[in-house]
Amino acid sequence: MAVERELTSPVELCDASGRLNPEAVGWSHHPLHTCNLRGPWPRQKRWDYWCVTSDTHPFSVTLSNLDYAGLAFVYCLDFGTRRFIEKTVIRPFASGCALGPTVGRPARFVFRGLSLPPSA
């Protein structure tokens, strides 16, 4: 059985040719990857996924830039009532969807009544 190594310092996800950097394979306690994606359209895929849970609700947001489409998916579930609320929006050619190369960098999705993060 293979055991992945723990990553303890920042690492680029891709090598100079755009292939997976072997040094980026592993796990970490904190986000350490720089998503330096290279390659022709539509080969670059980026996403941010966040989920916050409590004893009564999970709340999740996914922002994806797939080159040919931008996708935003938001949901909340009430464990007690089992009421599920969700909104999914797809934007052709990912227009209005911007994701940074690392976690914690600004991410934005705006289209048809959905703005993430919400406009001030």
Q: What is the pLDDT of residues 74-93, one digit of tens each?
A: 999 999 999 999 999 898 99
Continuous H helices in 1-120: none
Measuring CA to CA, how many Å separate 99 from each of 33, 52, 84, 88?
A: 14, 20, 27, 17
Q: How confident is the model at residue 120 (pLDDT cuts 50, 70, 90)?
A: low
pLDDT of residue 43: 74
pLDDT of residue 24: 94
Residue spans per domain, the chain: 1-38, 40-116
Q: How confident is the model at residue 9 (pLDDT cuts 50, 70, 90)?
A: very high
10-65 pLDDT per residue, tens: 999 988 888 899 999 999 988 898 887 777 777 778 888 888 999 999 999 999 88
Q: How much is the pTM?
A: 0.68
Provide the token pair at 82: 């089992």
Residues 33, 11: contact at Cβ < 8 Å? yes
64 versus 113: which is more confidently predicted? 64
